[in-house]
Amino acid sequence: MIVETEALGRTFGERTAVDALTFHIAPGEIVGLLGPNGAGKTTTIRMLATLLPASSGTARVCGHDIRDDPDAVRRSIGYVMQQVSPMGYYLLTGREKAEIEASLYHVPRRRVKERAAEVLDLVGLTEHADQLVQEYSGGMQKRLELACGLLHRPELLILDEPTLGLDVQSRHHVWEHIRTLGVAVLLATNYMDEADRLCDRLTIIDHGRTVATGTPAELKEALGVLTLDDVFLAHTGREVS
């Protein structure tokens, strides 16, 4: 398995953000992590990325324990956060940004230019590679972030609301590229159409706990509903925000 968690938990003082969360991701699988704002999605992601220590339970990412071997975990994953890169990157071209990040990911120096070109081509940015990032549309910036997350050939790509704030057309372009990546993906999103279109399986969490898991079709069929919005409402008692 690419990800295996067992009773993974995180507390902040008296508040429990993630409560005994257990799920898995198989090689090549796209798994969606859904939940209301504050349900524990980002906290879970940050624990799996070793940016936040777990308070309880265990997790292995790409065969490495998040407590015992965090460096190996970080070498094995790509992490695309909600926010795009800091403003300083806007003064670079897309190619320059990709090459700088390739060096940060310890891509061998002789391979940096070649690998940067490969990932820019993968997300359809080759013709814009020498354009300043500040001139990119929001969708192009998100695709550039995807490209940079793939520079070191990770076994797992973690995407935290990768299309937040994009218009419908830009979101669809990003979806097209995610589907062709060929790596395991953990996708946190509040867009139910995104989860339905992209994900092989879903885990819905609320108050840090798993409340439902299954394929989009299974979850809808179990409740006799037509949309994931209805599934989400049934399991969390809340409308999709």
Residue 105 DSSP code: T
- Render pLDDT for 49-60 as a digit per residue (tens, 0 to 9): 999 999 999 999
Nearest to 79 by CA among 142, 31, 149, 174: 149
Strand partners for 24:
4
DSSP string, 163-231: TTT--HHHHHHHHHHHHTS-SEEEEE-S-HHHHHHH-SEEEEEETTEEEEEE-HHHHHHHHT-SSHHHH
72 pLDDT above the threshold of 90: yes
Mean pLDDT of 63-81: 94
Give residue for tokens 């799996």.
48
Instruction: Name the 3-class secondary structure at 109.
Output: helix
CA 81, 85, 170, 151 torsion-angle sign: negative
Confidence band (pLDDT; 50, 70, 90) for 89? Answer: confident
- Local confidence band at 88 (pLDDT 50, 70, 90 cut-offs): low
Q: How confident is the model at residue 241 (pLDDT cuts 50, 70, 90)?
A: low
| pLDDT the model gives residue 24 | 95
Instruction: Give the per-residue pLDDT at 162.
Output: 86
Q: What are phi and psi of 221, to 5 degrees?
A: -65, -40
- What pairs with residue 18 in β-bridges? 10
Give me the residue label for tokens 């070793």: 50
Supply the pLDDT for residue 85: 61
pLDDT category at 169 given cuts 50, 70, 90 is confident
More confident residue, 10 or 122: 10
Listed in sequence order, the residues at least 6 apart from 90 whose beta carbon sits closer than 8 Å to its beta carbon are 132, 133, 134
Q: What is the predicted pLDDT for the residue at 48?
A: 97
**What value does the mean pLDDT take over residues 12-18?**
94
Identify the residue with better confidence: 138 or 85.
Answer: 138
> Strands 15-21, 3-12: parallel, antiparallel or unpaired by DSSP?
antiparallel
pLDDT recorded at residue 174: 86
Alpha-carbon distance of 66 to 79, in angstroms, equals 15
Find the mean pLDDT for residues 156-176. Answer: 87
Mean pLDDT, residues 133-156: 92
Place of tokens 């062709």: 180
- pLDDT score at 129: 97
Can you tell me the distance from the alpha carbon of 94 to that of 141, in angstroms, rounded to the nearest whole number?
Answer: 9
Specify whether the CB–CB gap between 142 and 162 falls below 8 A: yes
Note the pLDDT of residue 180. Answer: 85
Least confident interval from 1-5, 80-84, 191-195, 196-200 = 80-84
Tokens found for residue 210: 């798993």
pLDDT digits over 117-138, tens only?
Answer: 999 998 999 999 999 999 999 8
Superfamily name and number for 3-84+155-236: P-loop containing nucleotide triphosphate hydrolases (3.40.50.300)
